[in-house]
Amino acid sequence: MPPGRIVGVELDDAETDVVGTLFEDTVRRRRLCGEGSFDLPAIVAALRTAGWTGPWGVEILSDAHRALPVRTAADVAYRTAAAVLT
């Protein structure tokens, strides 16, 4: 896909094996960046090589993350994503 057609990139991570249905796993068990099996540094590098310069976001869909206090959740999401992006 040409980078000009991408409007934003959301980052998260996941375990290797799906638990339950793919939908359940996606909305309840996503991990913080760098805490799962996705090769996020390679994905980020590929997007940058393709010319992506737009916004990066963090999308952690997990019961555990939703249970954190908002400030803690934001801080840990920022810190783990920043480690992948720098």
> CA 32 to CA 61: how far, in whole Å?
9
Residue 4 has pLDDT above 90, yes or no: no
Residue 5 has pLDDT above 90, yes or no: no
What is the token pair recorded at 61? Answer: 């869909």
The answer to whether 65 and 75 are in contact (CB under 8 A) is: no
The answer to whether 58 and 35 are in contact (CB under 8 A) is: no
Tell me: the pLDDT tens digits for 31-79?
999 999 999 999 999 999 988 999 999 998 999 999 999 999 999 999 9
In this prediction, residue 2 carries a pLDDT of: 76
Residue 15 has pLDDT above 80, yes or no: yes
Q: Is 47 exposed, middle or buried (0-12, 13-18, 19+ CB in 10 A)?
A: middle
Residue 29 has pLDDT above 80, yes or no: yes
Domain ranges, ordered by start, for the chain: 3-85
> Beta partners for 31?
13
